[in-house]
Structure 1
Amino acid sequence: MAQNPFDQLSKQYLEDFLAPIGTVQRQYEIPGEAKFVDVWFVPNSEVSQAEDLGLLGQIVQTPCLLEPYRNSPTRTEVRVSVMKLIWIQEDERRKTQLDNLAEATLPRLWILAATTSKPLLEETGGAIKANWMPGIYFLPDLFKTGIVAIDQLPETEETLWLRILGRDSTQQRAIREVLALPSTHPRRNSILRLLANWKVRIDVNQAENFSGQEALMAFSEAFLEWEQRTEAQGAERAERSLILRLLTRKIGEVPEAARSRIQALAIADLETLGEALLDFSDLTDLENWLAAHS
């Protein structure tokens, strides 16, 4: 089954975000039908784990189908997505052997559209709800479907993880927001890795169709930072490994407790240890040095 780069990344991206808080199945096959859902998600009971996902965490509070679209979805694509939802709901009903499942337990459909058109939203009956932010349109309640117009979302921290799946300037600004996050941010490195992998998959022939030049430049920045960080981390690991080997030759086997303390040293202290170990004669010298630099 052929997939374009956006399909591949959007599914991988959603899986990376949602796997810690529930069960994610990509290309989930609808029972009895040759149809596949892009992402089928069932949350764990500990829904509080999704709090740092902002709007994305809000929409995955219950079992749901996630269907990302790079371009504005067509009438047919919306109809097919809703049809998939109905098939999934029917399968859930068969599994429980209940003719009338409670509405609250039925899966929802979220169409994640990088962009939308006014005629489409009007034809689907999409409407904004007071308790949801702008850019989210709900079809009539019967269909349990929401369309997230990513390019209409407010540019806030709460929407960042969905705006990454936008396009052109929306995506560009979202990537730059990720680059501006503190290096200690728990999601920053994993997102940079994912964006770097995404860029690698975009060949030159696809680049113009895939995104505007500004967004492509933002991808390049994310890729370069990830590459530099990876190289730096690799060099640091190599230096720690070398110092441990030198210590073993100089004073014998290094205890695990001392190894752990060496692994925790800042790079500047590590370089200082590399010079100091030349004067060590036994384990006591190492322990004294570690005590002085703790």
Structure 2
Amino acid sequence: MTRFIHDQFAKDYLEELLKDYGEVKPSEKVSGEIKEIDVLFTPSARQTANLQLLGLLGRFAEYPAILEPFRNPASSDEICDCIVKLLEVKAELRREAKGNKTKLQEETIPKLWVLTPTASPAILSSFNVNRKEEFVPGVYFLGDALRTAIVAIHQLPLTPETLWLRVLGRGRVQEQAIVELQALPLNHPYQQATLELVYNLRENLRVNQELEEEDRELIMRLEPLYQRDKEQAIQSGEQRLILRLLNCRIGEINASLIERVRGLSIEQLENLGEALLDFSGVADLEAWLNQQEG
């Protein structure tokens, strides 16, 4: 049953990463027998300049895209269902163009990216896939007319370019990606938002009573990262508060002293919060810091 939790995480995750670059429609219904596209993305012509930040995922988003992430390995039938969704979208676009008496432009037809944690040689062979030199290993294309690729996440190289897709993998592939995500610079535009989604996934899994062993291991591996981020957030808040109090008490302090304050532990920051009430000038702060460092 946890598959639905992971499915929702995948949709939220892709929407968060792509929302700045165009229109994202999660769970988009298509005509015919009731079917839902996981994520339908239409890029904005004005917002594609920074897509390289998303590496391989950014390349997928350069053109209209249907993204179908799977928690479990996609079966042949499931991949065929995805292709049917693509064909229904194409047929709908053709009808709209005909109704408007215009020609359907090839570049407006989405490409389908089936994101599967693993893909067996038998599955890949059954679709007669081929590789393209301009794409990394793990990306397999069907015939050009089908506008479809199967992305075997476990085969993607461990590079920054594939990070944002490997987060949607399973087991050690996903765990390694999360470690890399946590190690990104704090000012990276997608680090904090995506980590929050990962931690939300952790919380949603924790309240489930029927966890698979793999999900239990994921929760355990996320715990130290979660605690470290929580402590860093607390420490950052303490730093801002103490620096404001110091500015009020002894006036503006220079950059070197600010860096020394930021290097203090949470316990030291709390002690400084009490000690600064007796400070009358910058010399008192310097003496206190020297005492801590001594």
Secondary structure in 2 matching 1:26: strand
- The 8 Å contact of residues 10 and 68 in structure 1, kept in 2 or not, is answered as yes
Report the more deviating stretch, 226-235 or 71-80: 226-235
Please show how residues 22-171 of structure 1 align to structure 2 within 5 Å: 22-31=22-31, 33-45=33-45, 46-97=47-98, 101-171=104-174
Q: Distance in 2 between matches of 1:177 and 1:4?
A: 25
Q: Distance in 2 between matches of 1:81 and 1:123?
A: 15
- The 8 Å contact of residues 150 and 163 in structure 1, kept in 2 or not, is answered as yes
**How far has the Cα of 1:9 moved from its partner?**
0.7
- The 8 Å contact of residues 17 and 190 in structure 2, kept in 1 or not, is answered as no
What TM-score comes out, normalization by structure 2 length? Answer: 0.78
**How far has the Cα of 1:100 moved from its partner?**
5.4
Secondary structure in 1 matching 2:50: helix
- The 8 Å contact of residues 195 and 222 in structure 1, kept in 2 or not, is answered as no
- The 8 Å contact of residues 97 and 103 in structure 2, kept in 1 or not, is answered as no
**How far has the Cα of 1:236 moved from its partner?**
4.5
Secondary structure in 2 matching 1:47: coil
Secondary structure in 1 matching 2:91: helix
What TM-score comes out, normalization by structure 1 length? Answer: 0.78
The corresponding residue for 2:291 is: none
The runs of 5 or more residues in structure 2 that have no matched partner are 263-268, 282-294
**How far has the Cα of 1:205 moved from its partner?**
3.6
**How far has the Cα of 1:220 moved from its partner?**
2.0
- The 8 Å contact of residues 63 and 107 in structure 1, kept in 2 or not, is answered as yes
Secondary structure in 1 matching 2:212: helix
The corresponding residue for 1:227 is: 230
Name the CA shift for 1:100/1:210 in 2 (closer, same or farther; >3 Å): farther
**How far has the Cα of 1:89 moved from its partner?**
1.2
- The 8 Å contact of residues 199 and 223 in structure 1, kept in 2 or not, is answered as no
Q: Distance in 2 between matches of 1:63 and 1:234?
A: 41
The corresponding residue for 1:288 is: none
**How far has the Cα of 1:210 moved from its partner?**
4.8
Bigger RCO of structures 1 and 2 (CA < 8 A, at least 6 apart):
2
Q: Distance in 1 between matches of 2:161 and 2:213?
A: 28
The runs of 5 or more residues in structure 1 that have no matched partner are 251-257, 281-294
